[in-house]
Amino acid sequence: MLILGIDTSCDDTSASVVEDGSRIISNIVSNQTEIHKKYGGIVPELASRRHIEMIWPVAGEALRTAGVTLEDLACIAVCHGPGLIGSLLVGCSFAKALCYSKGIPCVAVNHLEGHIFASFLEEPKPDFPFLALVVSGGHTSIYKVAGFGEYQELGRTRDDAAGEAYDKVSKLLGLGYPGGPIIDNLAREGNPASIGFPRAYLPESLDFSFSGLKTAVLNYLRTTEGRGNTTARGPETGTPELADIAASFQAAIIDVLVRKTERALKQEQAGRLVLSGGVAANRELRRRMTEMGNEKGFEVFMPSLSLCTDNAAMIAAAGYHHFKAGHFAGPDLNPVAYLPLS
């Protein structure tokens, strides 16, 4: 059973053909980094316009690469939220038009559900139940996943998402956008113990908070002698101090993510963890989560890097289960910017 997945939730235009919800036949992602980087972040209006330009070429390439036509599809699975409303609108309108004109069923997929189901596109696949830590540019949440459609949010960020913290701190350090991969690389050259940035453990809950950490980095840059002019910094300077700040910031984020995830696993007596979302592409987070799993006896599942960041294969993977359950979307399907999973 072939499904065409479509994701235009943020700044990546993606289309993918997936067989039986688990085998990727093609997965095309057109990213917009070049457009947004000069503004230091995503400009929603520019993102929507670029999606309009790219949606047909990207969907066409996904079908061509897979060697299939629209007639071969069982359905089209489209992400309808959460995300940037103008961006989502492009994918939803495109999918609905295609489904209507070709008489193909349409299913709507929550983007966060997609991130969780990315782990079913590779071997080994997790068995239910498991806990899922979704860490992306817009979300940081821990879910208990009992089965398809059975999600319970155990904790979430009360302010910034982990990826948002990476992006904002990267901007403060004059390192550019997107901050996650830049800090991931730079931090490898720095000493993570050089600056003791705060860790907000919020011991009474499984929630997260990262905005204080961002402020702590800002205060550090303002108050430390000789470090006032952050805009003069840049990757080209290659100063060891900058790498130390990046590594210390990253250590603070990862300490919290790992320790709280471990607490959630113990509290729920869960044996399996799925790590997903753009920040799950971070090499140090992957290493630390794997280490924690090995030490404490939890199985840890992490999609490959390209399946952690936004892609349409994960939408098709989750869409497969909606299709089997008969959850079809009609022409009245509308995108939703705020769409909690549970």
Name which of residues 150 to 209 contact ligand KG4 (CB under 6 A): 163, 166-167, 178-181, 184
Q: Does 261 bind ligand KG4 (CB under 6 A)?
A: no
The encoded tokens of residue 309 equal 């960041």
- Specify burial of residue 44 (Cβ count, 10 A radius: 0-12, 13-18, 19+): middle
Task: Answer whether the bond into residue 82 is a cis peptide, omega within 30°.
Answer: yes
β-pairing verdict for 2-7 and 12-19: antiparallel
> Quick one: 134 or 242, whose CB is closer to Zn ion?
134
Binding site for Zn ion (CB under 5 A): 136, 310
**Binding partner of residue 167 among ligand KG4, Zn ion, none, CB cut-off 5 to 8 Å per kind:** ligand KG4
CB 261 within 8 A of CB 289: yes
Residues binding ligand KG4: what is the number (CB under 6 A)?
A: 19
Binding mask 27-66 for ligand KG4 (x = CB under 6 A): ----------------------------------------
Query: Smallest distance, Å, CB 269 to Zn ion?
Result: 29
Helix axes 162-172, 211-223, angle to 10 degrees: 10
Q: Does 282 bind ligand KG4 (CB under 6 A)?
A: yes
Query: Smallest distance, Å, CB 291 to Zn ion?
Result: 25
Q: Residues 6 or more apart from 104 whose CB is under 8 A from it?
A: 70, 73, 75, 76, 98
Q: Does 16 bind ligand KG4 (CB under 6 A)?
A: no
Alpha-carbon distance 188 to 329, whole Å? 45
> Quick one: 13 or 136, whose CB is closer to Zn ion?
136
Query: Smallest distance, Å, CB 125 to Zn ion?
Result: 20
**Binding partner of residue 190 among Zn ion, ligand KG4, none, CB cut-off 5 to 8 Å per kind:** none
Query: Smallest distance, Å, CB 88 to Zn ion?
Result: 12
Query: 226-254 in b/e burial notation, b at 16+ Cβ within 10 A?
Result: eeeebeebeeeeeeeebbbbbbbbbbbbb
Query: Smallest distance, Å, CB 297 to ligand KG4?
Result: 26
Greatest alpha-carbon span in the chain: 66
**Binding partner of residue 319 among Zn ion, ligand KG4, none, CB cut-off 5 to 8 Å per kind:** none
DSSP label at 83? S
Query: Smallest distance, Å, CB 309 to Zn ion?
Result: 7
CA 68 remoteness from chain centre: 28
Interface positions with ligand KG4 (CB under 6 A): 10, 136-138, 163, 166-167, 178-181, 184, 277-279, 281-282, 309-310
